[in-house]
Amino acid sequence: MIAPRSQLRLESNMYKNAKTWNPFKGCGFDCSYCFTSFRLQAKRQMHNCAECYEYRPHFHPERLRKISSSPIVFVCGNGDLAFATFDQREAIIAEITRHTRRHPQKTFYLQSKRPECFRPHLATLPPSAVLVTTLETNRDRGYEVVSTKAPLPSERYRQFLDLEYQRKIVTIEPVMDFDVDIFASWIINIAPELVYLGFNSKKKPKLLEPAPSKLAKFTAMVSTAGIDILGKTMRGLDMPGVVRPQAGEVGDAAEYPQPNEDQSYPVER
| Chosen residue from 15, 21, 24, 29 binding ligand SF4 by CB under 6 A | 29
Q: State in angstroms the smallest separation of the CB of 42 from ligand SF4.
A: 10
Is residue 90 a contact residue for ligand SF4 (CB under 6 A)?
Answer: no
- Per CB under 6 A, 173 contacts ligand SF4: no
Q: Which is nearer to ligand SF4, 151 or 245 (CB)?
A: 151
Provide the β-strand partners of residue 229. Answer: 195, 242
Q: Closer to ligand SF4 at the Cβ: 30 or 249?
A: 30
Rounded least distance, CB 88 to ligand SF4, Å: 16
Q: How far is the CB of 168 from ligand SF4 (least distance, A)?
A: 17
Shortest separation between residue 106's beta carbon and ligand SF4, angstroms: 23
Q: Confirm or reject binding of residue 30 to ligand SF4 (CB under 6 A).
A: yes
- Alpha-carbon gap, residue 187 to 133, rounded angstroms: 11
Nearest CA among 143, 263, 252 for reference residue 211: 263
| Cα–Cα distance for residue pair 220/222, rounded to 1 Å | 6
CA angle, residues 63, 120, 174, in degrees to nearest 5: 70
Choice from 23, 42, 57, 79 touching ligand SF4 (CB under 6 A): 79
| Interacting positions 117-156 with ligand SF4 (CB under 6 A) | 150
- 80 near ligand SF4 (CB under 6 A): yes
Which x/- pattern, by CB under 6 A, does the window 39-78 give for ligand SF4?
----------------------------------------
Runs of H (alpha helix) within 103-179: 153-162
State the number of CA atoms in the 13 A half-sphere of 73 facing the CB.
24
- Under rule CB under 6 A, residue 113 binds ligand SF4: yes
For 60-199, list the strands marked E by DSSP.
Answer: 72-75, 107-111, 129-134, 168-172, 194-197
- At closest approach, how far in Å is the CB of 143 from ligand SF4? 12
Query: Which of the ranges 31-39, 89-97, 182-190, 238-246 carries the binding residues for ligand SF4, by CB under 6 A?
Result: 31-39
Q: What's the CA gap between 234 and 258, in Å, rounded?
A: 9
- The percent helix, strand, coil of the chain (3-state, each to 5) is 40, 15, 50
Q: If DSSP codes are grouped into helix, strand and coil, which group holds residue 189?
A: helix
Among 15, 21, 25, 31, binds ligand SF4 (CB under 6 A): 31
**Residues 63, 16, 55, 43: is their CA dihedral positive or negative?**
negative
Q: Smallest gap, in angstroms, from Cβ of residue 220 to ligand SF4?
A: 28
Verify binding: residue 27, ligand SF4, rule CB under 6 A: yes
CB atoms within 10 A of CB 223: 17
Looking at the Cβ atoms of 136 and 252, the one nearer to ligand SF4 is 136
Using DSSP's 3-state secondary structure scheme, residue 166 falls into coil
User: Which positions touch ligand SF4 (CB under 6 A)?
Assistant: 27, 29-31, 34, 38, 79-80, 113, 150
